[in-house]
Amino acid sequence: MGLADDLAVVVVAKYLEEVELIANESVDIIRRWLDSVGLTLADHKTEVLLVSRRKEVTVKVGSQAVESKDEIKYLGVWLDTKLNFKAHTKHACEKASKTYNALARMLANTGGPRSSRRMLLARVITSSLLYGAQIWADALKLQENKRKMQSVQRLTAMRVISAFRTVSGDAANVIAGMLPVNIAAGEAKRLFMAKLIESTTQEDKRRERAMSMQTWQESWDSSQKGRWTHRLIPNIEKWTTRKHGELNYHLTQFLTGHGGYRQYLHRFGHDDSPLCRTCGETEDVEHVFTKCPRFLEERRPLPTTPNGGIVAENIVDEMLRSEETWNTVCSVIRRINEKLREIEKIRRDNLAQGP
C-alpha cells in the first residue's frame, strides 16, 4: 500500500460542465488504475485550479467534493487562475525574506563573516527566489512581480557588501557581483528551452552567461542610480571576475558614497550643511578621498600611476592590478573613515553641549 504524489490532470474544455465531467471521469480512471497496482489516492490532499475568469468548479474525488482554489502549489511552483505567477512571486519572496531575516542576524555590517562567505550564504536566498524560474521567468516582465523579487535581492546584496539601507539595488548588485534576479531568471529559461531541443553543453552555458552579462552591463550603463559607483566600476565583468579583493564596511562606503560624508549626512537630515568645513566645497566621497587637505597624510600611501595620482576613474583598476594595492587602498579608506567619524563625533558633542 502506498501514496501516489504529484499527479496532475489537465482538462481543456469550453464549458464548466464539460470541465467537471471530464475531470470526474479522469479521477475515476486514475483511482481504478492505482487500486489495480496496490496504491491509494489521497483524496483529502487533492486540489483543483480553474485557469479562467469564470466561477469555481467542483470535482468529486472519492467521498470528497473538491472546490477549485485561487492558487495551488505544484512541484514547488505556485499556480494561479490567470497563470501570471503573481502568487508564486508573492510566496517565493515571503520564503526568501524569512531566510534573509534568519541570516541577517549573523551578518552585521561591522564584523562577522568576510564578504566571500556572506556570498555563499546569500546564494541560499537567491536559489529560493529562482526556484522553478524556467517556468515563470516571463512573469518578471510585470513590474509588480519584478519589483518584489528585486526588493528581496537588494536586501541580500546589501548584507553581502555591508552597505547602508539607502544604497540602490543596482549599485548593491554590482558591488556584490550578484546577477539581477530578472536577468538570472531569463537565463535559466533560455537554457531550459535549449535543453528541450538538444542537450546543452558547457559552451552553451558560457554563451548564455555572456548574454546575461551583456544585458546586465547595458542596464548598469543606462541606470540613473548608483552613478558614483558606476564611475568607479564601469565594467561589471572586470569587477566580478577579479582574482582577489574582499569587501568590507569601510570599502563599501567608499564604493557607494553612502557613509560619514557631510553631503550624505545632510541629505538625510543628520548634518546642518553639505559643505566641508575646511575647504568650503561639497564634502562628498570624492572630495574626501582625492582633494581635502585634512586627509593628506592618510592618502600618502596611495600608489601613483603613469598619468598621475589616483582618481575615481582609475582607483578600482589599480586595486585590481594586485592584492597588495587592494589592501593598501582599503587601509587608506578605513583610516579616513575613522577620522571622519571622530570629526563627526566631536561636532555632535559640541552641539549637545550648546553655546
Phi/psi for 62 (5° steps) reads 65, -125
- What is residue 349's predicted lDDT score, i.e. its pLDDT? 74
The pLDDT assigned to 88 comes to 95
pLDDT confidence tier of residue 40, bands split at 50, 70 and 90: confident
Report the distance separating Cα 323 and Cα 326, nearest Å: 5
Of 11-15, 49-53, 102-106, 156-160, least confident by mean pLDDT is 102-106
> Residues 72-105: pLDDT tens digits?
999 899 999 988 999 999 999 999 999 888 888 7
The pLDDT score that the predictor gives to residue 347 is: 77
Q: Tell me how crowded residue 82 is: count the other CB atoms within 10 A of its CB.
A: 13
pTM over 0.85: yes
Type of residue numbered 325: T
Q: What is the pLDDT of residue 1?
A: 38
Residue 294 predicted with pLDDT over 50: yes
The 3-state secondary structure of 87-128, one letter per residue: HHHHHHHHHHHHHHHHHHCCCCCCCCCCHHHHHHHHHHHHHH
164 confidence band (pLDDT: 50, 70, 90): very high
Write the CA distances from 78 to 24, 64, 70, 72, 131, integer angstroms.
23, 23, 10, 6, 11
Distance CA 91, CA 97 (A): 10
Say how far apart CA 303 and CA 323 lie, in whole Å: 13
More confident residue, 184 or 305: 184
pLDDT at 354: 63
Residue 308 is predicted with a pLDDT of 66
Residue 231 has what pLDDT? 97
C-alpha cell of 335?
A: 583610516
pLDDT at 337: 94
Per-residue pLDDT tens for 210-266?
999 999 999 999 999 999 999 999 999 999 999 999 999 999 999 999 999 999 999
pLDDT of residue 52: 86
